[in-house]
Amino acid sequence: MKFLDKSTIKLDKVENELDNLVLDFVKILEKYTKYVIVSDYVVILFGRARATEDIDIFIEKMNPNQFKNFFKELEGNSYYCLNSDDARDMHEHLEEGLALRFAKKGSIIPNFEIKFVKREINAEALRNPLKVVLPSGEVLISNIEQQIAFKRYFLKSDKDLEDAEHLEKVFEGKLDKNLIQHYKKIIDAL
C-alpha cells in the first residue's frame, strides 16, 4: 500500500472475485453519477479476511431518465435488481430514501446496495472520497477516519468493532484522530 497523495492510495494486491465484481459494477455506475463505497467492503479491500453479503454504496441523485439508462446498462451486463424490474419503481424507491439491491443474474449475494445520499455525513463522503488504485481499476471509498468512526460509534457490533480495529492497525500512524472525533460528534447527534 502506498499513498500517492492525500486522497489516493495505490494498493498492490492480487484482486479477488469480489474486487473484480466491484470494479465491474462501479465502471458502469460512474458513467451516470458520483458514488462512494462505505462499510464492509472497505475493510475487506484492506485485507480483513471475512465475507460480506453486500457492498454499500451512496450515490448522488440521478433523474429518472439517467437512472433508466443506468439500469439498462446494468441489465446489458448481466445484473438485475432484487427489489423490482421496473426502472421507474426503482427510482421512486431511491427518492423515498430506500435502498436498491443489484446482483449478477443467477445470484443473490454478494449484491450492491445503493442509496441516494440524504445525510450530510454521507454527502461529505461523496464530496471527498478516497481513491484506491488497484491493478485493474479504481474504486472510490469514504475516508478511513469516517469508516472507523461509523463502525466504532454507530454500528458497534462485535464484527464492526473488529473492523474498526483492523483499519486502525492497517493505517497506524496515518490516521487523523481529530477527524475521527469530528465524525463521532456527528454520529452522536444522529
Summarize pLDDT for 28-72 with one digit per residue, the tens.
999 999 999 999 999 999 999 999 999 999 999 999 999 999 999
Q: What is the pTM of this model?
A: 0.96
Q: So what's the pLDDT on residue 190? A: 86
- pLDDT (tens, 9 = 90+) of the chain, 190 residues, equals 999 999 999 999 999 999 999 999 999 999 999 999 999 999 999 999 999 999 999 999 999 999 999 999 999 999 999 999 999 999 999 999 999 999 999 999 999 999 999 999 999 999 999 999 999 999 999 999 999 999 999 999 999 999 999 999 999 999 999 999 999 999 999 8
Contact 167, 148 (CB under 8 A): yes
Closest CA to 159 of 41, 50, 57: 50
Q: So what's the pLDDT on residue 132? A: 99
Q: Which H or E run contains 162?
A: helix 158-170
Pairing outcome for strands 54-59 and 111-116: parallel
Which domains, from first to last, does the chain contain?
Answer: 2-142 (3.30.460), 143-190 (no CATH)
